Structures are given as C-alpha cells and as structure tokens.
Amino acid sequence: MSDSSRDGSRDVDGLPIDAGTALYAVFGDPVGHSLSPVMHNRAFSVCGIQAVYLAFRIKDIAAAVGAVRALPMRGVSVTLPHKVAVMGYLDSVDDTAYDIGAVNTLVWREGALHGTNTDGAGAVGALREVAGLKGARVAVIGAGGAARAVVHGMSAAGARVTVVNRSEERGRRLAARQQGSYCPLDAFGGLEWDILVNATPVGMYPDVEAIPVPEKEIRPGTVVMDTVYNPMRTRLIHAAEKRGCRVVTGDAMFVHQGAAQFTLWTGRPAPVEAMREAVLAALGAEPAEAV
C-alpha cells in the first residue's frame, strides 16, 4: 500500500481507496480462512476496477443483509453457515439457487437485492477446461450442499448424472430433482462413467489418507475432479493421476465460481488466470498437470 496522498486517500496496486471505492465482501462464520479476498482483489486490480473485497465474520445474517442495503455494498459472497438462512432476507432468489437449495452470491438488480448460486457454474467451468459435458456420463459422489450444486450444474450442461451416495434416501432424492439416476456407494465399481466428481469432504485435511472410492475402481483414461482443496492434491487426485486420468483439483471449482460472481457484479469477463494464480500463491501450491 502506498503512503497517504494529500487528500487523505490511499491506494492499492495504483487504485485509490477513498469515498469512490466500491465495497464487496464475503459473509461467513468462520471466515478467516477464506481465499475469496485474495482472489477478488486480484481480479479488481487486474481489471483496473476501483473496489475492495473484505471478509466479515457474521453471526446475524439478517443484520448483515441490512448492512448491505444501508452502505450500500455492491456485491457479497455468502458461505457457511448462512447459505440457506440468507434466502429469507432477500428481495428475490433465482431458480438456480432454489434448485440447489442455497445462495452463495448477492447482487443488485434494478434496485433489488437478488440471490443466486454460482457453485454449479464453478464446477462446469472447471470441468470444461479438460472435457466436454454434453452427453457425458458424470458420477457425483455425495448428496450434500456441494453435491447439489455440482449435480445441478452438470445437468444444466447436458451431462447424464448419477448420484453415488451411501444414504439411498438422500441420493435418490437428489437424483430425482435433476432427472438423474442413483447408485449405492457400495455398487460404484459396476457403474460406467466418463467423469467422476467427489463432492464430499472425504480426503480433506486432516484426514488426508481417506479416499471416497477404492483406487482400483478409478477407470484409466477418464476425468476425475475433487472439490476438496485442502490439500489441493488429495489422495483421490494422486490415485487418478497414477491411473492415467485427467484431473481437476478443488481450486478450479473455487476459482470458476468466483469468476461467475465477478461477472455478475461487474458485467465484465473475469480474469480467470489471474484469479487462479492468486489462489495458488495463497495455497503455496502449483496446478495439477492433466495426464
């Protein structure tokens, strides 16, 4: 950050921080670990947009939405535990968010505060870097919040989705919502698929040796994506690489959902590579190489 200027304003990367600076934020609890500020502030800087993105630990989501209206803030990311509760305090929520059952993005539209969800778009954007989705057989492991977003995004992109889950009731319910099919987790070995997505926390730090499916059931020559990004190179990703698969690490979905937010807020194409570089630098990691 530079020294103060004569009018008391300051600047970051050559962009002034003053009364004309647009304010964006992420609301969550906890939120200190969030990489969204690193990613979005890099995007604003690269695009020459006078804006700043901050992280706020929020206990009372109703009061926080009131603050968005009062300041006003230009846009907000919403993360756990507020993605569902925030829906009750908005002027409108789109079909995508209703289908997924959660809002992760607040954006102003014609003076009204609108809620949507970019997680599914993030999964689609990440996978499209390595594979086509229309007509592809996509197996999604899990039936929680992340899985709902991934299944919605895959279905909207024209993929044929199978939900793979231990709980039959939850798995069948999610599959039915998106005109997909269901496969019990213990029957995964007999399932035919082109793309596998782990949408569970299995393999996340500290349980880094866990893997959602047996290594022997990972099909060579397919695409394998993990939504876990701590660690970024999970045991599933390592196993898939060893079996000659193209891999997509969890940072890719995170970056692409953020890119979709950026475009919603600014109306401009997102600088995806700059955002990815910022996230990888913060993680102290290098991108996985597709085999």
Q: Are 18 and 7 in contact (CB under 8 A)?
A: yes
Helices within 138-284 (DSSP H only): 145-156, 168-177, 235-242, 250-266, 272-283
- Catalytic position from the list 59, 83, 216, 242: 83
Reply yes or no on whether 83 is catalytic.
yes
- 94 CA to centre of own chain: 17
CA distances from 234 to 71, 103, 126, 140, 282 (A): 41, 27, 17, 17, 17
CA gap 64, 58 in Å, rounded: 7
Amino acid at 247: V
What does the alpha-carbon distance between residue 114 and residue 90 come to, in Å, rounded to a whole number? 6
Roughly how many angstroms between the first and final C-alpha of the chain, as a whole number? 41
Calculate the CA 280 to chain-centre distance.
Answer: 15
Q: Provide the pairing of β-strand 105-109 with 112-116.
A: antiparallel
**Active-site annotation, residues:** 83
